Amino acid sequence: MKNGIERRRHLRVPLALQVFSVTPQRAIEGKTADISVSGLNLLFSEMSEVDDEFQITLKSSEDHEMSMPCEKVWSSKFISDETVYDAIGVKFTKISSSDREIISEMVEEYYLV
């Protein structure tokens, strides 16, 4: 948000999903803080350097994972329940139509509850 104006084109909802990524240094695991069909906010308790473009895998259910390339838009520290996280805002650079549909359904379900 710049100057108090929301610039996102897609609705983003708070949703915690498991996230995995592999960096040149190591594999890292985290969770989402929020998600939309165009990107998400990642939280990692321990972070190694992440390139501006990297691959993530989201676990949307016990039997379904979505893997997609993304681009880092911003990074900062985030504090929740006295835990400090490394937060990264990313946009998806390529997402399959089926994965986009799954995320869209998760966003819709959030508002139906």
Q: Averaged in consecutive runs of 10 residues, what is the pLDDT profile of the chain (113 residues)?
A: 54 92 82 95 79 91 90 88 88 96 92 76
Predicted confidence at residue 48, as pLDDT, reads 61
CA dist 43 and 96 (Å) reads: 23
Predicted confidence at residue 5, as pLDDT, reads 46
CATH topology of domain 13-95: Thrombin, subunit H (2.40.10)
Contacts of 57-62 spanning 24+ positions with Cβ under 8 A: 57/19, 57/20, 57/21, 58/17, 58/18, 58/19, 58/32, 59/17, 59/18, 59/19, 59/20, 60/17, 60/102, 60/103, 60/106
Predicted confidence at residue 47, as pLDDT, reads 64
